[in-house]
Amino acid sequence: MSESLPPIHIHDSMEGRKLPLSLVQPGKVGIYVCGMTVYDFCHLGHARVMVTFDTVVRYLRARGLEVTYVRNITDIDDKIIRRAAERGEGLDSLTQRFIDAMHEDEVALGCIAPTVEPRATQHVGQMLELIETLVRRGHAYAPGNGDVYYAVRSFPAYGRLSGRSLEELHSGARVEPGEDKRDPLDFALWKAAKPGEPAWDSPWGPGRPGWHIECSAMSQETLGCRFDIHGGGADLLFPHHENEIAQSQGAGCAFAQHWMHNGFVRIDEEKMSKSLGNFRLVRDLLPIYGGEVLRFFILNSHYRSPLNFSEKLLEQARSGLTRLYTALRELPDDDGSILPEDSWGPRFHSAMADDFHTPEALAVLFDLAREINRRRDAGEPFAALARRLRELGAVLGILQRRPEDFLRGDAAGIDVDWIEGRIAARAAARRERNFAEADRLRKELEECGILLEDGPGGTTWRQAGGRGGVA
């Protein structure tokens, strides 16, 4: 890590404040992120998790750190079993279909694949070993009906992450029908098999793992008993992450040094939830806005803040990204320019080192784009600055396409031949000094969301802030 760059600080959810990034092994980072339960397509909340931690990983690697990025897949769960039964589909077929769809969305959002992507069904053996350790250490018990439960009161530190006391939690806890818990606070580590459900052999009879034990086992298998960062959405802080801590530390593992949680997604200022019917699927938004605009939209909010979704805000994100790509258009291979005294790089790193503050980092990119445009308009060399803009954009996972492709909206399903035909007809009308017809053609294109820019090299075009379209 370069001494000239500021130290990285992370807001640690456990401590409730920013702390310097502390590494188990100097120069190496192990990060575990709770991934998707694959029974449906990814929604905006999943997209935020993907983009947030992809950006964290990109920045850590840009700082010269060797990062092992683990994001798990939950492919056995009550919701998956119910969905497969509803559709009369095998579990393997259902989960693989949604895993493939998740990977498609991930690529569209510009996310780098995790270093390791463990699946729960491939780690049942490790889960059983962990459960047996907890039973031996007095943190878990088997009531004799094939289930195994974690005894929450055996772990005095329970509730520290979420800031909840055992008394507060007990007042809202209850025992569901069919459960044989000693205490309403206890949670399932292993569930006895029900007819028709998938099952694995265990010392307590056929069954399947509880949800929480999965991540404790998979993080330990992939990163060891002590690793650097555990991340996920704020909705997982309690009880999932609280239970992970109890399981892992109860079994003798030190577990995560830092905890990071991204904020909720809101739809028109209302919390997104399937129960309210206001959730948005990534694949429904991609044909309209494209993955890079969605990524840029997510980066415009600090990862810990609520992310409010609206059509207006997405259009603003498209317009902002268009401004950055416009600064990169017609970039000469080499105009002899050299990077002047670079204030943008230090400012960018200052923002990102301060708990990955992407809105401030984007503000630096906009300042850099304004300087590029000023130099272009003044006839001054600007290629070195443009390369710097692309370089810093890469750390955020943006600005890596050909500017012409983005500005023409090649992902929006528009008819390029029709547009270029109208531009050619307008050029012919101008040559014939038929300016009324040329203006009519320009207006026709503008009504379809296509903006023209006349320059010495001819006429170029791009999409306006809206989606646009053609006949």
Annotated binding site for Zn(2+): 34, 215, 240, 244
Q: How many Cα atoms sit within 13 Å of 109 on the Cβ side?
A: 31
304 DSSP 8-state letter: T
Residue 116 token pair: 């390791």
Contact partners, residue 428, CB within 8 Å, separation at least 6? none
Residue 202 token pair: 């265990």
**CA-to-CA separations, 103 to 46, 113, 265, 320, in angstroms, rounded:** 12, 8, 21, 27
- Alpha helical stretches, state H, 254-382: 282-289, 291-299, 311-328, 344-353, 358-377
Residue 206 token pair: 């056929």
Binding residues for ATP: 274
Phi and psi at residue 45, to the nearest 5°: -60, -40
Structural Rg of the chain based on CA atoms: 26
Describe the strand order of the beta sheet including 66-71 as a list of residue ranges.
Answer: 66-71, 28-33, 226-233, 255-262
Strand partners for 30? 68
Total Cβ atoms within 10 A of residue 466: 12
Instruction: Map tokens 């780690």 to a residue.
Output: 123
Q: How many Cα atoms sit within 13 Å of 422 on the Cβ side?
A: 22
Is the distance from CB of 115 to CB of 402 less than 8 angstroms? Answer: no
Q: Which of 23, 111, 12 is nearest to 66 (CA)?
A: 23
Could you give the angle at the alpha carbon of 343 between the alpha carbons of 332 and 346, nearest 5°? 110
Cα 471 to Cα 461: distance, rounded to the nearest angstrom? 17
Binding residues: 34, 215, 240, 244, 274
